[in-house]
A = this chain, B = another copy of it.
Amino acid sequence: MALTLAALAKTAQAQLRGDPDRLIDSVATLQDAHPGAISFLANPKYRAYLETTRASAVILDAENAGLCPVDCLISDNPYLAHARVMAALYPEPRYPAGIDGSAVVDPSARVAPTASIGAQSFVGAGAEIGEDVIVGPGCMVMEGATIGAGSRLVAMVTLCHGTVLGRRCLVHPGAVIGGDGFGLANDAGRWVKVQQVGRAVLGDDVEVGSCTSIDRGAIEDTVIADGVKLDSQVHIAHNVKVGEHTAMAGCAAVAGSSTIGSHCTIAGGAGLTGHIELADHVHVSGATAVTRSIRKPGVYTGTVPAIEHADWLKNFARLRHLDDLARRIKSLERELAALRQQHDKAGD
């Protein structure tokens, strides 16, 4: 696909400087671009590549436009403009409507005529597949699950029974939505399963990464609101609520019954304990454990940075004696004060 710069400027809601009829056929990084490609500058650390880029055009902000040796699209938010240009130049693949001959669809399932049901897939009793939905190869859509219009299960996705997926969702391979939560009662040392009868309910425009698991609720539903984006290997436990437009990066995890506000970001490998609440606009840093509710927007961190092993050996062993160190400081302060007083008296 090739589009003119004028068309891309319109798509990107950006201001065009240069030849409106120039054809652009691809997107590339500044350093690897070839003629015909458009590039972008959103991170200042790549500015050095701007001067020598072979791209035919660059998306950037007004401040950097002066340095741009080629045509450009000027935007206040170049990364967003880039996202829109990507969507225009690399549209989602189309799949033919209809049910693949190898798919198994229960007679009681309702599949919209415009939906595409891929090879080796399964659609269980009472499931509902909306208009323009793509169920890719090897997906299992269990009994009573529903998929809103325009959503896509890429491949090898499991929607457990009764799972609700909104419209325009995108779910990557290996994701499991609606598996049982971890509900156990203890009977004199033995675990007794607590049936998990809530559902996993996802809103519109939710993205779920590869190998991510979202457990169904115990009694109430696990709820993922509109616009939430979950990266790969994320885990959402039962009864969790995730607010609108919150994003969670790879390997992040939320334990049971916690509630996350809207517009939060949870960085990679971070974890939230159960039964806590995060306000809106809370940002949790990578590899951070959140152990209590956070009521105030802001950035929260508990990352322990790696150091050379020899330094670690001598420093981290002290961690378990911190309390002792603190007491000794207190004691030194007291003694020193006493000594000073004596001294001052002696000096009188």
Contacts and interface: CB of A to CB of B under 8 A. Distances in A.
A320 B187 CA distance: 39
Contacts of A189: 245, 263
A83 B195 CA distance: 7
A235 B232 contact: yes
Interface stretch (A2-10, A14-22, A66-74, A268-276): A268-276
A232 B213 contact: yes
Contacts of A317: 323
A307 interface: yes
Interface string A207-250: 10111110100011000000101011101010000000101011
B287 A219 contact: no
A301 interface: yes
A255 interface: yes
A174 B184 CA distance: 21
A318 B191 CA distance: 37
Contacts of A322: 315-316, 318-319, 322
Interface in A16-35: 27-29, 32
Contact of A269 (B190, B289, B333): B289
A110 to B, nearest CB: 18
A268 to B, nearest CB: 5
Interface residues on A, range: 35 or more
Q: How many copies does the complex hold?
A: 3
A9 B161 CA distance: 29
Contacts of A58: none
B289 A300 contact: no
Interface in A137-164: 137-138, 140, 142-143, 154-156, 158, 160-161
23 contacts: A29-B219, A80-B187, A86-B195, A120-B120, A122-B138, A137-B142, A174-B213, A176-B210, A184-B229, A191-B245, A210-B215, A232-B237, A237-B250, A289-B306, A302-B304, A315-B323, A321-B326, A325-B329, A329-B332, A332-B333, A339-B339, A339-B343, A346-B347
Interface of A: 27-29, 32, 77, 79-80, 82-84, 86-87, 90, 92-93, 100, 102, 104, 118-122, 124, 136-138, 140, 142-143, 154-156, 158, 160-161, 170, 172-176, 179-180, 182-187, 189-195, 197, 207, 209-213, 215, 219-220, 227, 229, 231-233, 235, 237, 245, 247, 249-251, 253, 255, 263, 268-269, 271, 273-274, 284-292, 294, 298-309, 311-323, 325-326, 328-329, 332-333, 335-336, 339-340, 342-343, 346-347
